[in-house]
Amino acid sequence: MKSLTVQFVTGRWFILFASFLIMSAAGATYMFGLYSGDIKTTLGYDQSTLNLLSFFKDCGTNVGVLSGLINELYPPWVVLAIGANSQSFANTGSLVTCVKNFPESRGAVLGVLKGYVGLSGAI
């Protein structure tokens, strides 16, 4: 029974399910339009400063060099533990793992997982 449980938890379908859960909670940066007005008024930023903040938010979200390097050296759970609330770490930890587990369907897997990130703003 123990080996069945280990096989289930480390299986590729359970990892895909766990990635759905991770990605459905990792899209706070997609909601920037909702809270950018509050940042602007609370901190006294003008629109150009808010645009600069938004640029670096997007840059940090999409350029996950550090998380990619960590993912090459350690298992995905380490990447997710280090960057517990970072979208680039969540992307790297779940997307790379699912692409490695489903190489024949990587386009569909990436599309569905990135769709969950978009839905996470609504969740």
Domain ranges of the chain: 4-120
Residues of the chain with pLDDT under 50: none
State the sign of the Cα–Cα–Cα–Cα dihedral 58, 82, 17, 31: negative
Question: Residue 75 and residue 66: Cα distance in Å, rounded?
Answer: 14
Global confidence as pTM? 0.77
Provide the residue type at 85 as one letter: N
Question: Residue 6 and residue 33: Cα distance in Å, rounded?
Answer: 42
**The two three-digit tokens of residue 11, written as one number:** 């299986």
Return the pLDDT at 86. Answer: 81
Question: Residue 70 and residue 105: Cα distance in Å, rounded?
Answer: 25
Return the pLDDT at 47. Answer: 92
What is the rounded average pLDDT for all residues in the chain?
87
Residues 6+ apart with CB under 8 A from 50: 36, 39, 40
The tokens 């950018």 sit on which residue?
36
Question: Residue 90 and residue 84: Cα distance in Å, rounded?
Answer: 8
